[in-house]
Amino acid sequence: MRLSILGIGKKISLLLYLVFMIFPLYWIVVTSLKPQDEIFSYPIKYWPVHLTFQNYVSIFKISKFHIYIANSLLIATLSALIVLAISLLGAYVLARFQFRGHKQVLISFFLTQMLPGFISLAPLYLLMSHLHLINTRVSLIVMYTVSLIPFSTIILRGFFQRIPVSLEEAATIDGCTRFSALWRIIIPVMLPGIGSTFIFAFIQNWNELFTAVMFVDDESLKTLPVAMNSFVMKFDIDWGAMSAGTVLSVFPTVFLFILAQKFIVQGLTQGAEKG
Amino acid sequence: MIGNKKAGTLFTVIMSLGLAAGCGNSANDPAKPKDSNDQVTLRMVESMTSPKRTELLKGMLAEFEKQNPNIKVELVSPPYDQADNKIRTMLLAKQKLDVIEARDLNVAEYVNNGYLLQLDDYLAGWKDAGTFSSIPKSVGSVSNKLYFIANGLYERQMFYRKDWFDEKGLKAPTTYQEMVDTAKKITDPSKNRYGFSFRGGAGSNGITDNIILAYNAINVNLEDSMFLKNGKTIYSTPEAQQAMEKYKELYKEASPPDSINWGFQEQVQAFTSGVTGILLQDPDVIQSLQEKMKEGTWATAPMPVGPSGKALIAAGGAGWGIASYSTHKDEAWKLIAFLSSPEENTVFTKNYGLVPIHSSAANDEFFKSGPYKTLLDMTNKPDTFLNYKPPFQYAGAGQWGNVSTESQQAFLFDKTTTADLLKTWDAYWVDQKSKIKK
Amino acid sequence: MAFQDYKLFDLSNVRFVGFKNFEDVLKDPKFIGALVNSLYWVFFSLFFQFLLGLALALLLNKAFRGRGVLQGLLFYPWALSGFLIGLIWKWMFNSQIGVVNDLLMKAGIIDERIGFLSDPNWSMFSVIVANVWYGIAFFAIMLLAALQSVPSDLYEAAEMDGANKFTRFSNVTLPYIMPTVITTTLLRVIWIFNDPTIIYGLTNGGPAGSTHILSSFMLDKIINGGDYGSASAVGVIMIVILLLYTIFYLSATKSEKVGDF
């Protein structure tokens, strides 16, 4: 009896929690399907009276959403991959080797996280301007990659440390080189960590607004958040277009979560078998 | 999230060096000898961006390129929210730019830092200078020198719910006193209906300063509008006290409680979604109202006046200026002259909801009727609606909005008295004045 | 820049002013308010983000049908830009036209509209709710990854020893994921402390400055008035606070687990 009350309580709180998490999404989706005059009508309508896809049509026709999505995908993916490659090696070194300045590197990584980003934007702009990189995709990839490496390295280092050195030693005895041991034994075991770091880096890039606004001018180079930010005008937020854009921008990341889930779990079992 | 500490400091050093030496002018290539066959590319940046306005501008630019086959124009359209910050940074880095959209509120900053070219010589040779009105000229000027040609003007007026007013047999109020009384009559919290679309958040000084100016009326120095003709600030008078007490009454008894932290967008949303009955706003809001509200439910009226029957009105605006380091200044002017011609400007202002900059446009049926008529009426009564120049020449004008908003919120929460509030404001402007005299 | 009178309004007048910016900032009562708010902001945001994130990670660590989809649905807040989160919650929290009040009234929980963003007693609560909503996914993602790398033989061994659910969690799971917990909470504190976007979007520090935290206070100085001098001074103070915190946190958690500091 006591147990079932506990169970009901648990279910209710879980339900409340889900409502809290999912309601805003519901609200955005519903808004994106409403015609202009229903979005702000009072009393509030929880379901569109006249269902329309006009908002979706207009963000592709008036704003060039296909271009922005392509840019965002390209920049976010490339930068996340570079981040992963560099931080994996960096984290491995930091986790497995003791060397002079080891501590300092780690401390400086934490330090980089402490500088509020806004203040460095103007100086960085000047630097990029001297390098003639303003208004290029490369500038964003460089900026994003640099800003994400410290975090990714710290996180991946944690995952490396959790893997017993004995696993690696066993592999080396079996005739693997250090690098192939890393590649064939350690990486598969670490896939959950790698996967989540990739997702993290990707999403961080996917969402980034301020740098993207600053460093890119041309319509053909703009990213998704910049395009969405333009729906905020002096007196008005175009919530129809904004919510349609939001739904589309969340889509790839949700897809990535689902994909990563399968990938990570598979990787995990494979790694365990080999180990 | 951005940046690496070490790199950050390094760049700061680089930047300060660059500033100190006055270098970093990557765009300042020695000017090439001009040849009419040379293909010229102009870069232009807009500030008051909205997707629709960008479309409109692009259409106009395409027409310009057709007329001038040797000139191409690249338009940069940063989101409205971030635009001025971005333009400022581009100018600091001397990034290639020829035509810049400057605004009344930041033109002094640009001029102080030498970013903008003075346009008086070009103006003298402009074929449309004859009809170019004096108000847009004054909006685009700093210390009587012209720096940008406004692409339209905004001027505050009253929007009200005609259907609600008719229902209760009310007329559009003409004074602040009447406005507060009328707003109270409409207010009915049980129906979630309020008289006034209040704005206590960002930009609240638009309302507080306006009401204080209207109460001080003819005593205000119109050229230096934070001060009276006797040199004291507008906040130092008993009239200012009265004005602020009216203002508090307006909030407490006729406005949504939530509006204490509303900005432009919420203020307008509340009006369009039928929560509030009176809105004081610029004409660029008209488009939004037309899109979201049924015809006939709303109408316009002139701004309310103070107890002496007068109100002070300022015109604001943004417009096109030329970067001081532009390498194609003549072509840039050609573009500005094209965009500012009576024909193009009329199209632009009609579509975007602004008052045109040429006196000739006043004859256009479009501006003589509908929601724009009120503005014309106000312009035609310069003795009732005195035109003043906002204090953008002070370094503290940018920060003023914030100072004013925060102390005004504390005042509405009854945390400060009227006298203390006005004392703070008075001190702020006395301090500003002393700094400019140096 | 923290030692300069550096205002964008007049760059010809940039000069060295020693500690004047620091003095001005420290004397500003708004700064103290923002400092106190920062503590609330960081503590409550982190506490609930972590707790709910951990709960979510544990929930999703079991295999069940539709887990991937549920995960996608629950993680999406993390996939939104900060400015959007501010806008969405500002709209929902609006007391006249927002859905939160409307729903609460319809459900009969409240009779009077609450000024979530306009009542100083509520505004801090509201911005923290939005921040918690946003940040849960971060912990859930990171902790889930850590949970999934717990070798299953550890559990089997514990089960053979007769451990129940709770002791298994506290004896096996917790120690194993501890390094992730320490690093993520440490980093998250720094980020929450530094990120002004949600507050900037939701309340812009208002009403009457009641929701300013240090980072939004700094951003405000840059955006309204371009005062890079005092903004940098605030920035330096923030870094000092974070450094002290980091040193304290790492020594308190005896973190040979995190790093050999």
| pLDDT tens-digit map of B325-335 | 999 999 999 99
Contact A209 C218 (CB under 8 A): no
Nearest residue in chain B measured CA to CA from A210: B82
Return the residue matching tokens 């440390």. A161
Chain A, window 56-85: residues with a beta carbon less than 8 angstroms from a chain B beta carbon: 62-63
pLDDT at B32 over 60: no
User: Cβ of A220 under 8 Å from any chain B Cβ?
Assistant: no
CB atoms within 10 A of CB C184: 24
Rounded to a whole number, what is the distance in Å from the CA of A181 to chain C's nearest CA? 18
Has residue B11 got a pLDDT over 60?
A: no
Which of B258, B259, B265, B292 would best serve as a mutation to test chain C binding (most C beta carbons within 10 A)? B258
Indicate yes or no: CB of A239 within 8 angstroms of CB of C91.
yes
Contact at CB, A230 and B95, closer than 8 angstroms: no
C113 contacts B406? CB cut-off 8 A: no
pLDDT at A264: 60
* pLDDT confidence bin for A263, thresholds 50/70/90: low
Whether residue B55 is predicted with pLDDT greater than 80 in this model: the reply is: yes
Q: How far apart are the first and last CA of chain A?
A: 46
List of chain B residues whose C-beta atoms are within 8 Å of the C-beta of residue C206: 201, 260-261, 405-406, 409
The residue ranking higher by pLDDT, A252 or C42, is C42
Q: Least CB-CB distance to B268: which of A115, A235, A238?
A: A235
B260 and C226 within 8 Å at the Cβ level: the answer is no
Q: Name the A residues in 107-166 with CB < 8 Å from any B CB.
A: 108, 111-112, 114-115, 117-127, 129-130, 132, 134, 143, 146-147, 150
| Residue-level pLDDT at B41 | 94
Residue of B nearest to A205 (CA): B1
Residue B27 has pLDDT above 60, yes or no: no
Q: Side chain identity at A31, as an amino acid letter?
A: T
CB-based contact, B18 to chain A, within 8 Å: yes
pLDDT tens sequence across C167-207 = 878 888 888 788 788 888 888 898 899 888 889 888 888 78
Contact B409 C207 (CB under 8 A): yes
The CATH number given to A56-274 is 1.10.3720.10
Q: Is the predicted pLDDT of residue B438 greater than 60, yes or no? A: no
Which pLDDT belongs to residue B59? 95
The answer to whether residue B9 neighbours chain C at the CB level (below 8 Å) is no
SS3 percent helix, strand, coil of chain B, rounded to 5, is: 50, 15, 30
Which residues of chain B does C9 touch, with a Cβ-Cβ cutoff of 8 Å? 108-109, 112, 395, 398
Chain C nearest-CA residue for B416: C208
Mean pLDDT of A26-48: 86
**Quick check: C224 and B401 CB within 8 A?**
yes
Q: Quickly state the pLDDT bin for A158 (edges 50, 70, 90).
A: confident
- The stretch C70-96 carries a mean pLDDT of 86
For B192-258, give the DSSP string.
TBEEE----STTTHHHHHHHHHHHHGGGB-TTSTTBBTTSSBGGGSHHHHHHHHHHHHHHHHHS-GG
Q: DSSP state, B33? A: P
Q: Domain B156-315+383-437 adopts which CATH fold?
A: D-Maltodextrin-Binding Protein; domain 2 (3.40.190)
Chain C neighbours, 3+ Cβ pairs < 8 A? A, B
Give B354→chain A minimum CA distance, Å.
Answer: 13
For residue range B63-90, list pLDDT tens digits in order: 999 999 999 999 999 999 889 989 999 9
C230 versus B181: the higher-pLDDT residue is: B181
Residue recorded with tokens 């004005």: B243
Q: What is the 3-state secondary structure (H, E, C) of chain C?
A: CCCEECEHHHHHHCEECCCHHHHHHHHCHHHHHHHHHHHHHHHHHHHHHHHHHHHHHHHHCCCCCCHHHHHHHHHHHHHCCHHHHHHHHHHHHCCCCCHHHHHHHHCCCCCCCCCCCCCHHHHHHHHHHHHHHHHHHHHHHHHHHHHHCCCHHHHHHHHHCCCCHHHHHHHHHHHHHHHHHHHHHHHHHHHHHHCCHHHHHHCCCCCCCCCCCHHHHHHHHHHCCCEHHHHHHHHHHHHHHHHHHHHHHHHHCCHHHCCCC
Q: Is the pLDDT of residue C261 over 50?
A: no
CATH superfamily of C4-236: MetI-like (1.10.3720.10)
Q: pLDDT at residue C221 above 80?
A: yes
In this model, does residue C21 exceed pLDDT 70?
yes
State the pLDDT confidence band at A266, using cuts at 50, 70 and 90.
low
A42, C95 contact by CB (below 8 A)? no
Decide if pLDDT at B92 tops 70: yes
Reference B273, options C117, C92, A36; nearest CA is A36
Contact: B48, A234; criterion CB under 8 Å: yes
C144 pLDDT more than 90: no
**How far is C259 from C261, CA to CA, in rounded Å?**
6
Q: What is the pLDDT of residue C182?
A: 85
The pLDDT value recorded for residue B297 is 94
Q: In this complex, which of A110, A122, A225 lies closest to C246 when CB atoms are compared?
A: A110
For B282, nearest residue in chain A (alpha carbons) = A235
* Contact state of C96 with B194 under an 8 Å Cβ cutoff: yes
Highest mean pLDDT among A164-178, B4-18, B57-71: B57-71
CB atoms within 10 A of CB C12: 8
CA-nearest residue of chain B to A212? B78
- pLDDT score at C254: 59
Specify the DSSP class assigned to residue A43: S
Question: Which chains lie within 8 Å of chain A at 3 or more CB pairs, if any?
Answer: B, C
Q: Which CATH class is domain B40-154+316-379?
A: alpha beta
Q: The tokens of A217 are what?
A: 């001018």
Nearest-CA distance B292 → chain A (Å): 5
**For the residues B224-253, what does the mean pLDDT come to?**
95
Over chain B, what is the mean pLDDT? 88
Please, which pLDDT band fits residue B26 given cuts at 50, 70 and 90?
very low
C113 reaches B (C-beta below 8 A): yes
Q: Is B85 on the interface with C (CB under 8 A)?
A: yes
pLDDT tier, A265 (very low <50, low <70, confident <90, very high otherwise): low
- Name the percent of chain A lying above pLDDT 70: 93
Tens of pLDDT, residues A50-87: 888 989 998 888 778 999 999 999 999 999 999 999 99
Question: Is B153 in contact with B283 (CB distance < 8 Å)?
Answer: no
Please answer yes or no on whether A155 and C142 come within 8 Å at the CB atom. yes
The per-residue pLDDT for B437 is: 60
Task: Say if the Cβ atoms of C97 and B263 lie within 8 Å.
Answer: no
Query: Which of chain C's residues have a Cβ under 8 Å away from the Cβ of A228?
Result: 81, 84
Q: How far apart are CA B431 and CA B436, in angstroms?
A: 9
ipTM: 0.84
Mutation target to probe the A interface, by most A beta carbons within 10 A, among C149, C186, C197 is C149
Q: Do the Cβ atoms of B288 and A204 come within 8 Å?
A: no
Q: Which pLDDT value is given to residue B29? A: 41
* Token pair recorded at residue C78: 């993390």
**How do the domains of chain B map onto residue ranges?**
40-154+316-379, 156-315+383-437
Q: Which of A180-184, B27-31, B289-293 has the lowest mean pLDDT?
A: B27-31
pLDDT at B7: 43
Report whether pLDDT(C29) > 60: yes
- The reported pLDDT for the residue numbered C249 is 83
- Residue with the two structure tokens 């989706």: A29
Using alpha carbons, select from B194, B187, B197, B184 the residue that is nearest to residue B156: B197
Question: DSSP characters for A131-168?
Answer: TT-TTSHHHHHHHHHHHHHHHHHHHHHHHHHHS-HHHH
- Domain parsing of chain A, residue ranges: 1-52, 56-274
Asked whether the beta carbons of B251 and B260 are under 8 A apart, the reply is yes
Is pLDDT of A174 > 80?
Answer: no
Q: Does A54 touch chain B (CB under 8 A)?
A: no
